[in-house]
Amino acid sequence: KAGVTQTPRYLIKTRGQQVTLSCSPISGHRSVSWYQQTPGQGLQFLFEYFSETQRNKGNFPGRFSGRQFSNSRSEMNVSTLELGDSALYLCASSSGLGPGAFFGQGTRLTVV
Amino acid sequence: AQSVTQPDIHITVSEGASLELRCNYSYGATPYLFWYVQSPGQGLQLLLKYFSGDTLVQGIKGFEAEFKRSQSSFNLRKPSVHWSDAAEYFCAVGSYSGAGSYQLTFGKGTKLSVIP
């Protein structure tokens, strides 16, 4: 059974640009959550999608958005990148029927 | 609001020694508790979880954790550490956010170094 797949693994972007990250959950899982990990703030919840609907959202600005497709794959978009957006972005996959999730390897985003 | 505290930022142990990583949580309802491990540049791997029942839970890689409601703690233990256990360990509490959604709130992590 394949795990959670995130692409790309590494990204370098310039301030002001936008970026899209992708996550394919474990087969059969309908929930995808996104987390941002930085040395200063640690792991912070961004949002959760379940059956193509955003079900929960963390305390991040509107520049951070996402969507989920009918096959449960999810994308996260960050517009007008700032230096502070440099982080490891982790995708978590679950059935969506309870707490806990399986994480992908993450996408390391560097904003220069 | 829920929160998780991992008091130890960095712990160093000798290979073969026992290990205990501390975790304290704050949550108004029955907590769902987790321990994850992260190797450098990698994602998070689930070690074990506690939802209810037996307060001593067994996980992968020989780890176990004990839930103590009176102390709001969920400490992770391993009787004999291996060099490959060197990594960062995160404790998390799963909380219900409404509309069927749960989210994880993580502690800041404890970095484990192992001396050969």
Q: pLDDT of B59-97, one tens digit each?
A: 999 999 999 999 999 999 999 999 999 999 999 999 888
Which residues of chain A are under the pLDDT cut of 50? none
How far is the CA of A62 from the CAs of A47, A49, A81, B20, in angstroms? 11, 16, 12, 40
**B27–chain A Cβ distance below 8 A for any pair:** no
Chain B residue numbers touching A43 (CB-CB < 8 A): 90, 92, 104, 106
pLDDT band at B1 (very low <50, low <70, confident <90, very high): confident
CB B111 within 8 A of CB B10: yes
Chain B nearest-CA distance from A59, in A, is 12
Contact A100 B103 (CB under 8 A): no
Identify the pLDDT of residue A100. 84
Average pLDDT, chain B: 95
Shortest alpha-carbon distance between residue B70 and chain A (Å)? 22
Q: Report chain B residues whose CB lies below 8 A from the CB of A97.
A: 100
Residue A7: count of CB within 10 angstroms of its CB: 12
Say what the pLDDT of residue B53 is.
87
Please indicate if any CB of chain B lies within 8 Å of the CB of A32. no
